[in-house]
Structure 1
Amino acid sequence: MNKLEQLESEACEDGIKVVDYSFDSPNIKGLYCDGVVGISDSLENSTQKRCVLAEEMGHHHTSNGNILTMSSTSNRQQEHRARIWGYNKLIGLRGLIDAFEHHCQNMYDIADYLNITTDYLKEAIRTYQNKYGNYVELDNYIIQFNYPSIGIIKNI
């Protein structure tokens, strides 16, 4: 089972049905509504689909109501929470440390190791930097955020 299939299985366990869908607009990558996630069938690969699915699962867990328009502050906040949920699901601080421990040297290595796109990783780093500041300590590690890159130091 590949990483996308694993995430789809988790979605199913959470009561979410995942379907491929042909959206009228190429700008729509995914959509969540009433326990169903539609993933654009125009996405190029399973890595992109996985990133979109994680965010849409975030909507299942964190959002309520119709948030299709971003004119409302509440809707923008719900969108942000869903993205953070997805970042934490696919990456998280622990995932960054795991990538470091597996000798990932740059953004491309980290994204490949975590099976996410580099754009998704960069967005997550920006979000983590906004949340934690320039660095955060976890266990015996210091994770430095310097968008769009990160540095990890292991304290001995």
Structure 2
Amino acid sequence: MNTYECLQDEACGDGIDVIDYTFHSDRIKGLYCDGTVAIRKDMNTAQKTCTLAEELGHHHTSVGDIIDINSVQNRKQERQARLHGYNRLIGLMGIIHAFNAGCQNKYEIADFLDVTEEYLEECISCYRDKYGVYTTVDNYIIYFIPNLVVVEMM
């Protein structure tokens, strides 16, 4: 079972319907409303995985109609849902697992984690904003600046 199928199963278990949908705007990848997630039909599996993770983040973290992006409160809720998706699909431990699996670049890390390179880049940028130059997890240091590097401490 791939990551997208696992997310679909989790959604089903939470009483959330996930449907493929043809959006009329190219800007929309997915929407969550009242227990239903609509996912853009013409995306590949990695794109659908990233979108579904964020939309499930909306289910768990958002309140009300947040479509108006001019509202600061709505932008905060959007960021929370994205962070929820990043932590679910990638997370600091995911970066470490990719390192331990021998991944040498962002393409290999994204492939290992079943996400798009764009999504991985956005996640790293978010973590860089949150943690700064580096953070430590267990006996690992994850550097975000100048590039993503994982170092195991002895």
Normalised-by-shorter TM-score class: over 0.9
Report the alpha carbon displacement of residue 42 of structure 1 after superposing the two structures with TM: 2.0
The answer on whether the counterparts of 1:50 and 1:116 sit within 8 Å (CA) in structure 2 is: yes
1:33 corresponding residue in structure 2 = 33
1:154 corresponding residue in structure 2 = 152
Alignment of 1:137-152 (within 5 A): 137-146=136-145, 149-152=147-150
Letter in 2 for 1:17: D
User: In structure 1, how many angstroms separate the alpha carbons of the residues matched to 2:127 and 2:102?
Assistant: 21
1:115 corresponding residue in structure 2 = 114
2:110 partner SS:
helix
User: In structure 1, how many angstroms separate the alpha carbons of the residues matched to 2:117 and 2:90?
Assistant: 12
Letter in 2 for 1:28: I
Letter in 1 for 2:25: S
Report the alpha carbon displacement of residue 146 of structure 1 after superposing the two structures with TM: 2.4
2:17 corresponding residue in structure 1 = 17
Pairwise CA RMSD of aligned residues?
Answer: 0.9
What's the % identity of the aligned pairs? 54
Letter in 1 for 2:75: R
User: In structure 2, how many angstroms separate the alpha carbons of the residues matched to 1:104 and 1:146?
Assistant: 18
TM-score, normalised on structure 2?
0.98
User: In structure 2, how many angstroms separate the alpha carbons of the residues matched to 1:112 and 1:51?
Assistant: 12
Give deviations 1:71-106, integer Å, cap 9, x for gaps: 100000000000000000000000000000000000
Letter in 1 for 2:71: S
1:99 corresponding residue in structure 2 = 98
Report the alpha carbon displacement of residue 139 of structure 1 after superposing the two structures with TM: 0.2
Unaligned runs of 5+ in 1: none
The answer on whether the counterparts of 1:26 and 1:42 sit within 8 Å (CA) in structure 2 is: no
Q: Kindly tell me the number of residue pairs found equivalent between the two proteins.
A: 154
Alignment of 1:67-82 (within 5 A): 67-82=66-81
User: In structure 1, how many angstroms separate the alpha carbons of the residues matched to 2:2 and 2:141?
Assistant: 31
TM-score, normalised on structure 1?
0.96
Report the alpha carbon displacement of residue 61 of structure 1 after superposing the two structures with TM: 0.3
2:73 partner SS:
helix
